Amino acid sequence: MNLKELSSLLGLSQTTVSRALNGYPEVSEKTRARVIQAAEAHAYSPNTRAQGLATGHSKCIGHVISVSDSAEMVNPIFGDFMAGAGETYSAHGFDMMVTRVGAEDEADTYRNLKARGAVDGIVVHAPRRNDSRMALLDKIGLPYVVHGRSTGVTTPYSWLDVNNTRAFSEATSYLVGLGHKRIALINGQETMDFAIRRRSGYESSLRFAGLTIDPALMSTGEMTEAYGYDQANMMLDVDTPPTAFLVASIICAAGIRRALDERGLRVGKGVSIVTFDDCLSYFANGGDRPVFTAWQSSVREAGATLAEMLIHRIRAPRAPHDTKLWEAAFVEGTSTGPAPGTSKD
């Protein structure tokens, strides 16, 4: 069923039917009701491509997932982020397109998406320090919002970020307060801006506490379970091993827990773990008995909110940029306790 068929069926012109369905005032409420009823009865939905051609909008948002050779991993937060964003999109009648692309082709992908008119806007994921994507997108005129921020980019843009510096600084102080002096940082890849921020929060709290910043206790890599396991084992094998781990992802924290368990170290007694928690739906860490002491922020809500921001941006491209800095919430779990040998102990 298309417009032509529907309108001839109703004995009306295509114009009138189109206007009736799109809520234009030039049509009487009586005909509008008749049209809407007929449209529903025949399950008519306007052809997306034709509509897009005529209006110049695609009503579609792009998500570009770039996969570098060094980071073949699929980010575990991906699913939850999409779920959140998808909810917002469908509420607003937008489609969601996801493109997987090698990191080296990312810029071309954006240009192509724009040239083809495939999307009305995009979400920029995992911004790096001095990320060049914002300038590119500004240049080609494709609306966007950023999940995170990019230090070094001075032109304004819309973003939503978690206060990572603060979260990691507080987490470090929290461990210091428990008497820990050897605190390891198992960080994400420090090509990403948020990972750099996390480290700086960690370092500043160590400095404030008068503790030495030991490169041997800091590592950066893909946040997999295996990575956490490996790093924990390596660090525990040295002379003065850490008594606490500060971790960038709950997946990674699970790996660390495994290493500790295997060594017979009691998590929360001998060794403490604090982690950042993205509130992944399949790895819950909340309710009445959180496993890990954590600073948490829902990536799913971030997805929903960023989607909302982007849609606003598309509707009002000249509106001032919107920025949101969310504070992570503290949850005390059972994975932390006083450092061994502390007076309290």
Partner DNA sequence: CACATTTGTCAAAGCGCTTTGGAATGCCGC
Partner DNA sequence: GCGGCATTCCAAAGCGCTTTGACAAATGTG
- Which residues would be at the binding site for a copy of itself (CB under 8 A)? 1, 43-50, 52-53, 58, 60, 65, 67, 72-76, 78-80, 82-83, 86-87, 89-90, 95-101, 111-112, 115-118, 222-226, 251, 254, 257-258, 261, 280-284, 291, 300
Identity of the residue, 58 or 275, whose beta carbon is nearer to a copy of itself in the bound complex:
58
Least Å distance, CB 308 to DNA, is: 23
Determine the Cα–Cα distance for residues 155 and 254; give it in Å rounded to an integer: 39
Q: How many helices (H) and strands (E) does the chain have?
A: 12, 12
Beta carbons within 10 angstroms of residue 191's beta carbon: 15
With CB under 7 A as the contact rule, the residue among 23, 40, 43, 55 that binds DNA is: 55
Amino acid, res. 305: T
Determine the Cα–Cα distance for residues 122 and 147; give it in Å rounded to an integer: 11
129: tokens are 């320090």
Q: The dihedral of CA 307, 308, 310, 311: what is its sign?
A: positive
Least Å distance, CB 60 to DNA, is: 15
Please say whether the beta carbons of 221 and 70 come within 8 A: no
Whole-angstrom CA distances from 167 to 126, 163, 179, 275, 325 are 18, 6, 19, 10, 12
With CB under 7 A as the contact rule, the residue among 41, 53, 74, 284 that binds DNA is: 53
Least Å distance, CB 69 to a copy of itself, is: 14
Least Å distance, CB 314 to DNA, is: 15
Q: What angle do CA 38, 44, 45 make, to 5 degrees?
A: 140
Residue 216's binding partner, choosing from DNA, a copy of itself, none, with beta-carbon cut-off 5 to 8 A by kind? none
Identity of the residue, 14 or 163, whose beta carbon is nearer to DNA in the bound complex:
14
Strands 293-296 and 272-277 come out as parallel
Q: Applying CB under 7 A, does 46 fall inside the site for DNA?
A: yes
With CB under 7 A as the contact rule, the residue among 21, 61, 171, 280 that binds DNA is: 21
Least Å distance, CB 149 to DNA, is: 34
Closest to 307 measured CA to CA, from 183, 171, 156, 158: 158
Site for DNA in 180-239 (CB under 7 A): none
Residue 257's binding partner, choosing from DNA, a copy of itself, none, with beta-carbon cut-off 5 to 8 A by kind? a copy of itself
Instruction: Return the range that interacts with DNA (CB under 7 A); candidates 17-25, 68-76, 82-90, 215-223.
Output: 17-25
23 in helix, strand or coil? coil
Question: Where does this chain bind DNA (CB under 7 A)?
Answer: 2-4, 11-16, 18-19, 21-22, 26-28, 30-31, 44, 46-47, 50-51, 53-56
